Structure 1
Amino acid sequence: MNSTKLSDILVKWESFKIEFPHMNEPFSKRNWGSDLHSVCSYQGKMKPALAYHLIDTFSSEGDTVLDPFSGSGTIPFEAAINGRYSFGLDIGLLATSVSNAKLKRHNPTEVFKIIDMLSDFISNNTPEEKSISESKEVAFNKTIPEYFHEDTFREILLAREFFLKYKEPESENWSLVFSCMLHILHGNRPYALSRNSHPITPYAPTGDFIYKNVVEKLTNKVKKSIEAQELLDLAPAKCFLADILHEWPLEIQKVDAIITSPPFFDSTKFYMTNWMRYWFCGWNKQNFQENPKSFIEVMQKKNFDVYDFIFKQSYERLVDNGVAVFHLGHSDKCDMAESLKSYAEKYFKVEDIFTESVEHCEKHGIKDKGGVKGHQYLVLSKK
């Protein structure tokens, strides 16, 4: 990236801070953006409109954009829709799969072969004792069996075994089917396999135990997702299943813009709000006790030292005069941008720190979203 382009970007950034384009119609509408953004409900997901405008501000068509905290893939997906090559990283099977379900072009024939294989697996097997016991040990709002009709639950146990046996989170077809399965696990609408609960956090279920056919519900969701993708012209994109605290994949090089949103310091624990989906991804009781220790959202509660490696990797993958934008959470407990500034300055020029109040924002039915009162933007350039 040349210095003239960087200057133009910073001019656009000044306009962003004045106009807040993501807050104006039609972008302010709750359902703005592709239906594929909703392939799987996901707490803490950046609004597609904000991702769109950050990408529009800090990159140009034909650029390469990276989000090393991909999450549900909102940023790389908006980049791919809008003519940017894009990459994502995430440590979790859940996030990597949901990202690739959006980013990679699906082959409908291959997708439905996977569903046929799942159907055969459910018809010809019985759940393993290990699957049954793990499902009873993982209990937060309620035990998992309490969410489902017993026949539906049997099919869900077998579906979990199937997906873990044939796990391919970087595959365009597997990731779509798996993400759709995660989405329909629980909710408060007819698509959901569970009794009445919540589509993001599985609150204690209510209502009757009604049998729901897993393959039927899954097929309906997959068809809608394929239809949504067929409306899009996607640039090449991929999310890697990788630990951000280890060397990043070598395929990620010459990045023009890093646009990312790390876990907010004062947010609710993501792995707890998504506990049932993590169970479906293979977690057992011990995993819930041990795995989070390696998560940035847990590690940064002690200190922010882990970000030194993240800024170093970001610096090495960016082109000269490239930009890195970290979208952060500000709360009474932590000024996250100021906390990270000292780490960033070791590698980058700090172009700006800007805080936007979000106390007016809706909570989408979530009772506790943490103490975040502002969204901060730490804007860096590689000199």
Structure 2
Amino acid sequence: MNIFLDISRLLSRLSNRLLPTGVDRVGLAYVERYHSRARAVLSELGYSKVLSRKDSERAFELLLGNAPGRTAIRALVTRSLVIPHRERIERAVLLHTSHNGMERLRYYQTMRRRNIRSVFMIHDLIPLTHAEYCRPGVDEAHRRRIHTALRHADGLIANSQDTLETLNAEARRAGLSVPPSVVAHLAPGVTSHKDVAPPLDVPYFVILGTIEPRKNHWFMLHVWRRLVETLGEHAPKLVIIGRRGWECENVVDMLERCSPIRGVVIEEAGCSDERLRAWLLHARALLFPSFVEGYGMPLVEALTLGAPVLASDLGVFHEIAGDIPDYLDPLDGPGWLAMIRAYAESGSTTRAAQLARLSGFKAPTWQEHFEHVDRFLETLLG
């Protein structure tokens, strides 16, 4: 089987020195898995270029090694554009792990002419199901992506059963059929249990993810204000890890202008994997009050490290974590207040009960993920 990996998004973000997002981490896992026998593909606006074996190897080295200068990436891209591609390809599949370019019909048609089957990963359908949490216009753009993939992709990989069921529902609504599909859970990016010193010597909780409406930061900041009003200097700290995203002005107002939570809420936008691991390892719990998620990597990472989780009562969280976390309605202020206070206590029996349940957590692994994917690809290629 010949494997082709679209690395356009990964190279672009590396060139711009941007830290990997969850989607990028998935793409890098695919590069790590297949780089020794894969070819790289670059694409833009539906136009695509297959890199030579030598340039593919160089591209994969850049992605898996230390961050290179922009000059090295630009030289690679420029060289690839002037080298013609004429070889005959047999029994081949393209793996595209981001949503970028999924709406471009030309992309599928070109791959088909090259005799390459196109397989895309679907991370979520949130802009379709919860457009109110996204920037204006994102819903229509994502609908074009999803509907084009439903019509023209040869196969789809869903990160969860919940995502696949949502995709099936959208296909029924639009009168479209779903291509052959497989569910493959994603492995955590932060896994080492090596002991590190606590970043704080007082009780604290962590909320992890880009600050955006669906993550429910604003609600949690109001919970923290009430905690400070109730407990004063004994209130636990809240550590917000993640950059400021879009349409989060109300959260920014709380962070910058709400005096009661100043010094109690800590914002950390750029956080390395090592520092994130330290924050999670010593937290009283990870807080995950989202209104909707396609998967929930912070939940997986926290449980993998042995950190308790207080999470919204979402189907995908139950799929991944079973009955281990304590679940709450994302709008249940009194419930969150009571649970956070219980978990903040040094001898918390509620927290101890989750730690006991947590001992049975089996984290998804990339080996299991790719076992599902490889079997799917073999079936797809007959």
Q: TM-score normalised to the size of structure 2?
A: 0.30
Q: TM-score normalised to the size of structure 1?
A: 0.29
Structure possessing the higher relative contact order (Cα contacts under 8 Å, 6 or more residues apart): 1
Larger Rg: 2
